[in-house]
Structure 1
């Protein structure tokens, strides 16, 4: 039942825009595979083969470390509310940090946040849909505001201090480059 495409159609872009949550998958050559749920209005489809998503500061920073080692990423959406579909996009992503020139321009696509840690600019080489018939119905009850309040309370300097102590390496010890490129 799976169908594959070389780009995101308008119909699939509308499906993505209607979802409140998506999942990010990444892995280095060795170590653990990371699958992480994302939300908070952090993703934009910018073209048929381009997606950007803004990664907010959290407890781990696996995706950045994985992409520094092996540049591949999978994004997945599930139709929990109406349309029974699972959509995956596969590709490679360019990691942008707040210190990078392109970051500020891409960050304008999203609501303001002190916790903005990276923006991933994903080049898509494969799009796949599958039926989603086994995905349960779930009702959307709203966004959580805990992470936004946490970031606001920390402020920009507190966020940078948090990065230095909690976000410089993955759980497998890969460098995330949050504090700058290594010589």
Structure 2
């Protein structure tokens, strides 16, 4: 049932473009494994073996902390409407800091200058394996729309309040690993 591919082809790219959510999976050498849901609108395919997503401020910053310890990252899509399928992108991830030239380039290019409220960083994954599986166990859901809660939350904060929140909640993982969010200081 599972099939492996060396890269994202046009059929898999089309599948990704129809999804509404993806999940990231990361872990440091020790401690908790983290799985986080992300809106598919945050992801861009840069090439057959590279994707990036724009990461917004959240209640923690586990993926960045884990990538600072061990750079492995998995992204998973699962069809909740239409034909069943699961798609996993395995590879090496890295954080692209918001103040960097690379962030500005990606924001201007693939993201067409659209930076969501509370944008924190980008996460890039260099893919070394693509795998599909049946998805027969994934239930069907009807997509009703994106939640505006995170954007509203960030919009209601001043830049100073957002930074204070990030300093309090996003600098260290649950297991005490640094996220590097303010490493440039």
Range into which the TM-score falls when normalised by the shorter chain: over 0.9
Say yes or no: does 1:144 pair with 2:147: yes
Deviation per CA, 1:94-145: give whole Å up to 9, x if none: 2111122211111233332231111011100000000111111101010000
RMSD: 1.3
Give the length in aligned residue pairs.
182
Q: Secondary structure at the match of 1:89?
A: strand
Matching of residues 50-69 of structure 1 within 5 Å:
50-69=50-69
Partner of 1:48: 48
Matching of residues 21-170 of structure 1 within 5 Å:
21-39=21-39, 41-108=41-108, 109-110=110-111, 111-170=114-173
Deviation per CA, 1:150-171: give whole Å up to 9, x if none: 1111132221111111100000
- Structure-2 separation of matches of 1:159 and 1:105: 23
- Structure-2 separation of matches of 1:149 and 1:95: 25
- Structure-1 separation of matches of 2:2 and 2:23: 18
- Structure-2 separation of matches of 1:82 and 1:40: 16
Say yes or no: does 1:4 pair with 2:4: yes
- Structure-2 separation of matches of 1:60 and 1:83: 34
- Structure-2 separation of matches of 1:100 and 1:171: 26
* CA contact 2:19–2:40 (8 Å) conserved in 1: no
State the TM-score, normalized to the length of structure 2. 0.94
* CA contact 1:80–1:137 (8 Å) conserved in 2: yes
- Structure-2 separation of matches of 1:20 and 1:156: 29
- Structure-1 separation of matches of 2:34 and 2:119: 20
- Structure-2 separation of matches of 1:142 and 1:31: 35
Q: Which runs of 5+ in 2 are unaligned?
A: none
Q: Secondary structure at the match of 1:12?
A: helix
State the TM-score, normalized to the length of structure 1. 0.95
- Structure-2 separation of matches of 1:43 and 1:66: 19
